[in-house]
Structure 1
């Protein structure tokens, strides 16, 4: 199983818009990805699951994937989490 650990960079953490962008990206990758914060793991494609993690700015989350495209899927999603999606949103307003 492929694994990446990354700190959530968005100022608001994985809430509202950043969570939506993350889930949308997860739906677009070939591998089934799980995101874990502490003892809780949820499917990356589940908006309610991702929100339920309560991941705030700086929280370290672990992404796990198995099967074809696992490494590429994790690279894509880890890069997204490492960006401040809130800052990017305000720059487009």
Structure 2
């Protein structure tokens, strides 16, 4: 399992558009990708679950990938977060 921690810089946090883009990116990998905020963990491919975390600017999230392509998945997630959030 690979894990990264990222602090959201987008002033709107994770709202519908970036949540949809994030879920789409997570679906590109066979690894299970999860996002955790505080004590809640959700599957990154689930749009409604992502939005349900209520992630705002300044919040830290933990992204984990577990599976055969976890290295590529965690790298892609980190690049996506840096570029979009």
TM-score (norm 1): 0.83
Q: Residue deviations 1:48-93, cap 9 Å, x none?
A: 11001111112111011112111210111122112245xxxxxxxx
Deviation of 1:38 after TM superposition, in Å, equals 0.6
| 8 Å CA contact retained: 1:33, 1:66 | yes
* Matching residue of 1:80: 80
Q: How many residue pairs align between the two structures?
A: 85
TM-score (norm 2): 0.90
Distance in 2 of aligned mates of 1:33 and 1:13: 19
Structure 2 unaligned residues grouped into runs of 5+: none
Distance in 1 of aligned mates of 2:37 and 2:67: 22
User: 4+ residue runs of structure 1 moved beyond 6 angstroms?
Assistant: none
Over aligned residues, Cα RMSD in angstroms? 1.3
* Matching residue of 2:24: 24
Deviation of 1:8 after TM superposition, in Å, equals 1.7
Question: Radius of gyration: which is bigger?
Answer: 1
Deviates more, 1:58-67 or 1:45-54: 58-67
